[in-house]
Amino acid sequence: MSFTSQIFHLIKKEFVLEWRQRYALSGILLYVLATVFIVYSSFIRVPDTAWNSTFWIIIVFASVNAIAKSFIGESGNRTLYYYSLMNPYAVILSKMIYNTLLLLILCLLCYAAFSFIAGNPVQNVQLFYLILFLGGTGFSITFTFISAIAAKSKNNATLMAILSFPIILPILMTLINLSANALGMIKDTAYTNDILILIAIDLILVGMALILFPFLWRD
C-alpha cells in the first residue's frame, strides 16, 4: 500500500469509527453548546474582550476533549495491528488531518453558537475564518502529538492537560491577539506578521511531531 493510500484509508477508518459511535461527536457538540450557554448566563451581555477570550478558551477545552481520545481511545491490539501494517508517518499524519477537520467543524459550530447566543462582534470576517483555520490546525497538531505521548501512561487525562496547556500557549496567545484584530478591538495593520508566526509555529510543530513519532509509537 502506498503512503498516500495508507493515509487515505486511515482517515476513512476514523470517519467510519466516528460515524459508528456517534456519541463522541455529538457529545463534543453538546459540550460546546452547554459551555456557550454558561458563558452567556454568567455575562448576559458579553463584552468584546470577554467574547474573544472565552471563545478561545472554550475551543481549547473542547479540542482537548475531542482529541484526547485519538490515541487514548485506541486499544493495544489495534496499535499492534497498525504497527505491523502501516508507516508511522501515515498514522500520525492521518490522525492530524482527521483531527484538523474535526476541530474546524468544532470551531465553526462554536462560532455559530456564539453568534446566535452571545452576539457576533466580528468585523473582519475573512480574517476571522483564516484565524479559525490556523487555530484549528495548530491545536490539532499539538494535541494529537501530546495525546500520543499521554496515551502511553495510565493517568492519561491529567497528563494530557499538564503536557499540552503550557505548549499550546504560544499558539493561543497569537490567536487571541489576531482575533482581537478581527474583532476591531485593536487596530494593528501588521497582523500579517502574526499570521506568519502562527504558520511558522504550526510547521515547526508538525516537523517535530513527524521526527519524534516513530520513537514514540512502538513499545
Residues within window 43-102 making contact with other proteins, judged by CB under 8 A: none
**Site membership for other proteins, residue 152 (CB under 8 A):** yes
With CB under 8 A as the contact rule, the residue among 100, 174, 179, 181 that binds other proteins is 174
The answer to whether residues 202 and 179 touch, using CB atoms and an 8 Å cutoff, is no
Give the number of residues in contact with other proteins, rule: CB under 8 A: 28
CB of residue 215 to other proteins, shortest distance in Å: 5
CB of residue 131 to other proteins, shortest distance in Å: 14
Q: Give the DSSP H/E element, type plus range, for residue 112.
A: helix 88-118
With CB under 8 A as the contact rule, the residue among 177, 185, 195, 210 that binds other proteins is 177
Q: Which three cell numbers stand for residue 49?
A: 474582550
Comparison of 53 and 120: residue with beta carbon closer to other proteins: 53
Task: Report CA-CA distances (Å) from 114 to 49, 128, 155, 166.
Answer: 14, 14, 33, 26
**Site membership for other proteins, residue 187 (CB under 8 A):** no
Task: Report CA-CA distances (Å) from 105 to 52, 79, 112.
Answer: 19, 27, 10
CB of residue 69 to other proteins, shortest distance in Å: 19
**Site membership for other proteins, residue 157 (CB under 8 A):** no
Q: 155-176 in b/e burial notation, b at 16+ Cβ within 10 A? A: ebeebbeebbeeebeebbebbb
Q: Within a 10 A sphere around the Cβ of 59, how many other Cβ atoms?
A: 24
**Which range touches other proteins (CB under 8 A), out of 10-18, 66-74, 95-103, 168-176?**
168-176
**Site membership for other proteins, residue 215 (CB under 8 A):** yes
CB of residue 161 to other proteins, shortest distance in Å: 9
Q: 93-112 in b/e burial notation, b at 16+ Cβ within 10 A? A: bbbbbbbbebbbebbebbbe
Give residues in contact with other proteins (CB under 8 A).
145, 149, 152-155, 159, 162-163, 165-167, 169-170, 173-174, 177, 194, 197, 201, 204-205, 208-209, 212, 215-216, 219
